[in-house]
Structure 1
Amino acid sequence: MRKPPPALRIVAPMLALLLAGHVVAAPAARPFDAVKKPESIDPEWRDRLCALLPQPCDPQVLGLYRPRGAAAGNYAVLSNEPLAMAMVRYKRVADSKTWQLERLHDFSGYAAALKKESGAGLSELRVSLAPALYPLAEGQWAVAVLQTVSEMYSGGGSSSTTADFVPLDKSKAVHEGIPFSCSKMVRACFSEKEYKQSKHCHDESSGSLRIAYGEPARPGEPYQWQYTWLQSEWPAHTPASAAATTRLHFAARTTERAGFCGGPR
């Protein structure tokens, strides 16, 4: 019997696996891209989209995004007050165009609980949503509820953000207090002479989270999340080439491994 050519011998098993449903795309987050000029779509988009969200709604803290890969006319709206995510569609109805609400995910209760727990001492706590969806298991997604604490001081400042990953259809986080991002700048020049002579008048650091998603241990179980923390340090009085980046892996129980720009966790 004549053997098939080598290329066919390779492709045929792959095709069989695909048809059998054994080849599954690796899980990945679904980022949203900010719409740079939403007024060009609808000059009154803020008020019209606020009307679709839980009330009261502050139109000045809305963000309009395009889910990457979404069909034309599909958008995501992120709101800080109330804390909510809405999937909407901009379409023509009769002789006019209108916004239609496709799905609403209300996290205002979660935000209220966070602010209550923070106490009066952390009145500067800011709660927001990251513009992305994160895979929990096949067909299940979460949002990152971000909690940011900022501090300003003479010649510098700092900001640190942690994330609670909350399923779209639930009100309880599955991953809590995960370091998400940070930045810190501390002044290191205190005279006019220093400002003129120094290559860099601040100690600066910044950090951010990366997540890799592994296949579940068993079918139907959650994906295995693996965290990586990237942090950059640029010492004062040195050129930009002296900045160094470190990469650390950590788990939900070892968040202290993330440098977090020296800030709170």
Structure 2
Amino acid sequence: MLFVLAAAALAGQASAGPSAQVFDLVKKPESVDPEWRVRLCALLPQPCDPQTLGLYRPRGGAAGEHVVIAAEPLAMARVQRGKGAGGWQLERLHDFSGYAAAKRDAASGSVADAQFSLAPALYPLAEGQWAAAVLQTVSEGYSGGGASFSKADFVPLEGTRIVAEGIPFSCTKMVRACFSEKEYRQSKHCHDESSGSLRISYAEAARPGEPYRWQYTWLQNEWPAHQPASAATTSRLHFAATTTERAGFCGGPQ
């Protein structure tokens, strides 16, 4: 799954007040259970592709507590690892496959070719209420390079009100800038590279029971071709759900 990495950074957290629940990737899941893919697939909606599963631990969670995230079907589940063979217990399931199917049916052009996944985090909406980030990723291939652009729909775990749609979430882009053996020998850096990611901070509501206030910040790194790594720059800007074009998004589709 594409968005296994940098979960904490993409989730974003304020230093005080509400914060995201971040899930840390289990790097060696076979050490937990050699048959974890097949056993956890059996707990998810069918059909299930075991190769699309990722196993995580909730940051600060209790012993044995895990989260499994699947791309096929698009689902997230909290599971508990017990003793004995096949000792997985399903505690809570969130199935987003219907949402992804509806998005595909309504899409056209490049969006229809997007890959769907779930970010390994939950995002606070209000006291006791959470949303997941349904990611739509479009990839482009270039000669000697490529790009990937991901946007997020923040979908509540309960209810039907979508928090925000089409929010720039992450991007990477690499464009070749050397075209001869001489350039490859002499250049300090043979690509134009950029990467970006979303940060979210959360402020308490003005009155109890009201939704938290979300603030979006976009971080983008630029490393120009033929320049040393020290020439790379980082920009930071704030935007709202109605001004997503302010996010650089590595020059990708908005």
TM-score, normalised to structure 2's length?
0.91
Indicate conservation of the 8 Å contact 1:124/1:150, yes or no.
no
Secondary structure class of the residue paired with 1:253: coil
Question: Unaligned 5+ residue runs, structure 2?
Answer: 1-15
1:83 counterpart = 2:113: no
1:34 maps to a residue whose letter is: L
Q: Distance in 2 between matches of 1:28 and 1:117?
A: 32
1:180 to 169, 186, 200: 169
Q: Which of residues 33, 41, 50 in structure 2 aligns to 1:50?
A: 41
CA deviations on 1:40-83 (whole Å, 9 max, x unpaired) are: 11111101100000000000000000000110001000010010
Amino acid at match of 1:125: A
Residues 194, 222 of structure 2: 8 Å contact kept: yes
- The structure whose RCO (Cα within 8 Å, separation 6+) is larger is 2
Indicate which of 37, 53, 59 corresponds to 1:62. 53
Establish whether residue 71 from structure 1 lines up as the match of residue 62 from structure 2.
Answer: yes
Mapping for residues 207-226 of structure 1, pairs under 5 Å: 207-226=196-215
Deviations along 1:193-220, one digit per CA (max 9) or x if unpaired, are 0000000101111000000001112211
Q: Does 1:199 align with 2:188?
A: yes
Query: What percentage of aligned pairs have identical amino acids?
Result: 74
AA in 2 matched with 1:155:
G
5 Å matches for 1:1-265?
Answer: 26-92=17-83, 96=85, 98-119=87-108, 121-265=110-254
Q: What is the rounded CA distance, in whole Å, between the counterparts of 2:63 and 2:46 in structure 1?
A: 28
SS for the counterpart of 1:252 is: coil
| Residue identity matched to 1:240 | A
The count of residues paired between Structure 1 and Structure 2 equals: 239
Once residues 96 and 229 of structure 1 are traced to their aligned partners in structure 2, the CA distance between those partners, rounded to angstroms, is 45
| Matched residue, 1:11 | none
Shift of 1:192: 0.3
| Paired residue secondary structure (2:30) | helix
Query: TM-score normalized by structure 1?
Result: 0.88
Q: CA offset at residue 169 of structure 1?
A: 1.2
Q: Is the 8 A contact 1:107 1:171 kept in 2?
A: no
Distance 2:240 2:85 in 1: 51
Q: Which residue type is aligned with residue 80 of structure 1?
A: A
- The structure whose Rg is larger is 1
SS in 1 for 2:235: strand
Q: Which residue of 2 aligns with 1:10?
A: none
